[in-house]
Structure 1
């Protein structure tokens, strides 16, 4: 399994494979890598004729077969892309099994004139590569698209500013990267807003503070506060705001679960002083102060019940095809009435 760095290196060297499977939590990042593959594989004059796309959520086996069997137009290769190929996950329903078997046939014996690309989105960074994909590793190049960090993130963000005709100072660049949600789609959107806001002048930290929304960790604090105050409508409203910002449902659930676990540990702390909680949780003092204050709104039994509810909801979301947003809303309502 390759990472993004190695994939980009291979593409630059014109080392293309017949089949790619990409997976990760950042869909925009995955799309960018796929675009690079397409640009290398196809003549730009005939892209529209030699690029066939399928929605994995509405997969048609017959159409996919026809696309793979049909020869490219005035080109050595054609690209068949299946996006949101959730049937590559370990799902038990008959439709996903059927779609997987059809694609498996062509992945294991990809026609010479075809370049196949599949991708699906991981619910969170803890989700492991599926057994279905593991079976295909011998016949395809599997790429894990983790979110960018450190110098790679700084470089990507700086390049984006520069491509839009805007310079940003090194200090402001790092400050922006620390403040913005680590999601490529959101990063690009916030860069555009910041450029429009500052127009012809230099970007300052004040501009970044004025334009960027709070990080989701702050929103999770507020969401749990609404739960403690029995304000389910506001909690659900904030959840919807997080979804609008591009956060993943499983990620939101994980953050809520983490918050309740931290509050549970604070509640168990005999002293409940900032110093003792910092020592226990290994978190900054200002966060521990907020946790201590928030923990006073809950009883130990309530927190235990909330944690159990989060775990049960997580299991439900990962094992069924039920509407995830509805399930999370129900969980929030139930935590309020515990």
Structure 2
């Protein structure tokens, strides 16, 4: 610990808290917020002198807190980042808990942990009690569409509401995927200032729907060989992304099954399912290959696979192939 660290100093960046514990299910949202806090805390050009990063699994509390008590150089504040904070052992938590009671005013200590916050953790409890805990879960489709419109505006582009919703339909609800496609769209647009659904179709439409349709079509036909081939072709995607794509397709098909019993127009049906009208016929064709019971069974198995991936209960390399074989096999036979 640095004996000269002025714990009660009043930095110019007083709007920042001295500690943040960022946790939640959206890794990109956490990453962006950590970057925003870091930029707000540090003077431009002084980052190399005032930024230190640690890993919660391999770094000790003594190492982290020694850095936290170190004076900033040529800046009002310094930033100490602790990634994978959920890996901090309970036996290492007490020094952090004590620090949160009286943190150094010239340091912004940022913990990040992807996943649901462990409310039994001493550090998480202390962060919550001191107002330093910030939960950053994945946004729903409506909030993501608003985020996309605002992000496009920051880059001098006007993204229509319909185009933003189509973008989310194409990418899914993972912010990292939405941002990646939006960045691609900005480059594609060039000098064009107003972007509509046609721009999304031309630039982004192939990133999610085709693989999702191909996988659900193969499963609906009980064609395990083709389904596994689609999975292998998409193996460079993150497992949760591919699982999320398949889950979204299945939920839409289940909703279509339920709504098809009512007399509603195609536009109303598309709106209720959260899809664009021009995709409806393709979804209807796929839905016709499933019974309602099969889709309900599929949702349950998708949830189980999601849990396996997030908890590490089963190796990532076998979760999706096993799921595909289950959905294509005897467990979902038609009545």
The two structures have a TM-score, normalised by structure 2, of 0.69
8 A contact 1:179–1:215 mirrored in 2: no
Which residue in the other structure is 2:109 paired with? 116
State the match for 1:157 in structure 2. 152
- Post-superposition Cα deviations, 1:167-218, rounded to whole Å, max 9, x if no partner, equal x4x4x54454233235554455445534544545666644442211346466
**Counterpart of 1:41?**
41
Contact 2:163 2:195 (8 Å CA) reproduced: no
Residues 230-282 of structure 1: CA deviation (Å, up to 9, x unaligned): 22323413653653xxxx71x6545544544565576688x857749978x94
Match of 2:100 in 1: 107
State the match for 1:137 in structure 2.
Answer: 128
Q: CA deviation at 1:117?
A: 0.7
| TM-score, scaled relative to structure 1 | 0.68
**Alpha-carbon distance change, 129 to 214 in structure 1, aligned in 2, over 3 angstroms:** farther
Q: 1:292 to 1:152 in 2, by over 3 A?
A: closer
Contact 1:56-1:83 at 8 Å conserved across structures: yes
* Bigger proportion of residues as helix: 1
Q: Which residue does the alignment assign to 1:223?
A: 215
Matches within 5 A, 1:1-338: 14-56=14-56, 58-87=58-87, 96-98=89-91, 100-101=93-94, 103-122=96-115, 130-132=119-121, 133-145=124-136, 147=139, 148-149=143-144, 151-160=146-155, 162=156, 168=157, 170=158, 172-180=159-167, 181=171, 185-200=176-191, 205=196, 206-214=198-206, 216=208, 219-229=211-221, 230=223, 231-237=226-232, 239-240=234-235, 242-243=237-238, 249=240, 252-253=242-243, 256-257=246-247, 259-260=249-250, 263=253, 275=264, 282-283=272-273, 290-298=282-290, 302-303=294-295, 305-320=297-312, 322-324=314-316, 326-338=318-330
TM-superposed deviation, 1:81? 0.8
1:99 Cα deviation after fit: 5.2
Report the Cα distance in structure 1 between the residues aligned to 2:24 and 2:193, rounded to whole angstroms: 34
The CA distance in 2 between the partners of 1:300 and 1:256, in whole Å, is 16
Deviation at 1:73, TM superposition (A): 3.5
Return the alpha-carbon distance in structure 1 between the equivalents of residues 274 and 165 of structure 2. 16
In the TM superposition, what is the alpha-carbon distance from 1:17 to its structure 2 partner?
A: 1.0
Structure 1: 5+ residue runs without aligned partners? 1-11, 88-94, 163-167
Q: Deviations over 1:272-319 (max 9, x none)?
A: 57749978x943795665554324434566445434422332343344
CA contact (8 A) 2:22 2:30 kept: yes
Distance 1:159 1:49, change over 3 A: same
Q: Distance in 1 between matches of 2:265 and 2:77?
A: 63
| Aligned CA-pair RMSD | 4.2
Query: Is contact 1:84-1:119 (8 Å) kept?
Result: yes
CA distance in 1, matches of 2:17, 2:61: 23
Query: Conserved in 2, the CA contact under 8 Å of 1:235 and 1:332?
Result: no
Distance across 2 between alignment mates of 1:273 and 1:105: 60
Call closer, same or farther: CA 1:201–1:276 in 2, change over 3 Å.
closer
CA contact (8 A) 2:97 2:126 kept: no
Summarize the Cα distance change of 1:22–1:283 in structure 2 as closer, same or farther, 3 Å threshold.
same
Report the alpha carbon displacement of residue 67 of structure 1 after superposing the two structures with TM.
1.9
* Runs of 5+ unmatched residues, structure 2: 1-11, 331-335
Instruction: Count the aligned residue pairs.
Output: 303
